[in-house]
Amino acid sequence: MSKDQILAAMQSVLDEAGENSLTDEQCARYEALEGDLKRAQKSEEIQKRNAAYNSVVTSALHVAPAKEDDTLERAFMHYARTGQKNSDITELRAQSVGTDSAGGYAVPTTLLSKMTERLKAFGGVASVADEITTSSGEPLTWVTLDDTANAGVIAAEGTAPASGGADLVFGEKTLGAFKYVAPGASNLPLRVSVELLQDANFNVQSKVFDALTTRIARQQAVDWVTGTGTTEPFGVNTGTAGTAFTSAGITYAELVDAVHGVDPAYRASGKCVWTFNDATLALIEKLVDGNSRPLLNMSTDGISGAPSARLLGFPVVIDQAWATYTDGGTNKWGAFGDLNAGYIIRRVSGFSLVVDPYTRVNEGQVQYSLHARADAVVQDANAFRVLINAV
């Protein structure tokens, strides 16, 4: 019997006697049950001790987290510091045909993520445009179609329609992969002293990568806006329809016209933005309505947080590559619309870093060059309008 069953049987003996004294037979039965209870309790204690012997005390056991495999990153950092390859870095793919030292080495995943974030953070257009990443740089071609000018017609029963739309006219867009290089002074590689690289208390590699990626990002930011499409990407303001501002200075009415220059189908996407540089933003911030309220609304009031600007209900994205709005000239100073639908950036995954510790060895310098490939093109010119000063 279990301990609970024994206790129940003992209580039954007492209930049987009631208020009377226990008989000899009842006393014998009760005492026998007491013996059974002691054996059951002892058996339970033994089982608990045995379970304790076979259990693991988790609070006393320290399990270290799995160590992140950073072998390739450390190997790459060694290469960046010294220019000398080791057995681990051979796993990093060389970026050109020939010797590894001539082609450079692919940046490992962790560092590549840091570099990509740096590129996205530089230049407002890149933050709102569509972006794809490919593993190689061969041309990408896709078909386009603009059939918005055609519509169906009503035809009488049993007769052919009197008129109709045009046949479908398909276009074509192509993305290549221009090579961007981050050099140093006089188009020479970036030079860093050996003494600085040997200083273990200073993260030189991080500074070098930041400098090189910023230089590439700065040029790309200009190309995303003003690129001509010849030996460089197509910029947002190249070959696209514009909204002319003919008044002296930016006016409320012309800003409204710019918004309605984009079809409502695009405006309903929730992705339409204004983009221009900070100097132009300052001019717009000074515009007020008839009640002296600013046209540019700040989503955060007071001084507790950084404001997020909205103009006529749409976000403002600052990109310093745009020209500043000026009267007395004709220039493209911004854009409005759905740039995610209208503009696409193609990046080729991977950067190639070339470290040359030999050319300037007598001067005690190591040379660095970073290569990256990218292209961009307007994929839907109807999705946005370029803002043009026509005075």
Q: What's the rounded Cα separation, in Å, for the pair 222 and 235?
A: 8
**pLDDT for residue 35:** 87
Question: The tokens 């790309």 sit on which residue?
Answer: 220
Domain ranges of the chain: 3-44, 110-145+171-390
Report the DSSP pairing between strands 384-390 and 242-245. Answer: parallel
Nearest to 110 by CA among 11, 205, 183: 205
- Residues 6 or more apart whose CB falls under 8 angstroms from that of 320 comprise 123, 221, 277, 278
**pLDDT for residue 59:** 52
| CA count, 13 A, side-chain hemisphere, 192 | 25
**Are the C-beta atoms of 316 and 296 separated by less than 8 Å?**
yes
**Are the C-beta atoms of 373 and 135 separated by less than 8 Å?**
no
Q: Is the dihedral of CA 263, 268, 269, 271 positive or negative?
A: positive
**pLDDT for residue 275:** 95
**pLDDT for residue 3:** 81
Q: What's the rounded Cα separation, in Å, for the pair 95 and 22?
A: 99
Q: Which two tokens stand for residue 354?
A: 């070339």
pTM to 2 decimal places: 0.67
**Among the four given CATH numbers 1.10.10, 3.90.1690, 3.30.750, 2.60.40, the one describing domain 110-145+171-390:** 3.90.1690
pLDDT tens profile 93-112: 443 333 333 344 455 666 66
**pLDDT for residue 98:** 35
**pLDDT for residue 79:** 55
3-state secondary structure of 110: helix
- Residues 6 or more apart whose CB falls under 8 angstroms from that of 350 comprise 93, 95, 106, 107, 112, 135
Question: The tokens 């026509």 sit on which residue?
Answer: 390
Q: What is the pLDDT along the chain (391 residues), one digit of tens a residue?
A: 778 888 888 888 888 888 888 888 888 888 888 888 888 888 888 888 888 777 655 555 455 555 555 555 555 555 555 555 554 445 444 433 333 333 444 556 666 676 676 666 667 899 999 999 998 888 888 877 776 777 777 777 877 776 666 777 777 888 999 999 887 667 788 888 888 877 756 677 778 888 888 889 899 999 999 999 889 999 999 877 777 777 778 888 899 999 999 999 999 999 999 999 999 999 888 888 778 777 776 554 444 444 557 888 899 999 999 999 988 777 899 999 999 999 999 999 877 888 888 888 888 888 888 889 999 999 999 999 999 987 6
How many other C-beta atoms lie within 10 A of the C-beta of residue 283? Answer: 15
- Residues 6 or more apart whose CB falls under 8 angstroms from that of 219 comprise 180
**Are the C-beta atoms of 374 and 348 separated by less than 8 Å?**
yes
| CA count, 13 A, side-chain hemisphere, 20 | 8
Assign residue 9 a region (left: φ > 0; alpha: ψ between -120 and 50; beta: otherwise): alpha
**pLDDT for residue 170:** 76
**Are the C-beta atoms of 204 and 355 separated by less than 8 Å?**
no
How many other C-beta atoms lie within 10 A of the C-beta of residue 267? Answer: 18
- Burial (CB < 10 A; 0-12, 13-18, 19+), residue 244, is middle
Encoded amino acid at 217, one letter: A
Burial annotation 48-59 (CB, 10 A radius, 16+ → b, else e): eeeeeeeeeeee
**pLDDT for residue 389:** 85
Distance of CA 73 to the CA centre of its chain: 21
Please spell the DSSP secondary structure of 193-207, one letter per residue.
Answer: EHHHHT-TTS-HHHH
**pLDDT for residue 92:** 44
Q: Which two tokens stand for residue 90?
A: 């051979």
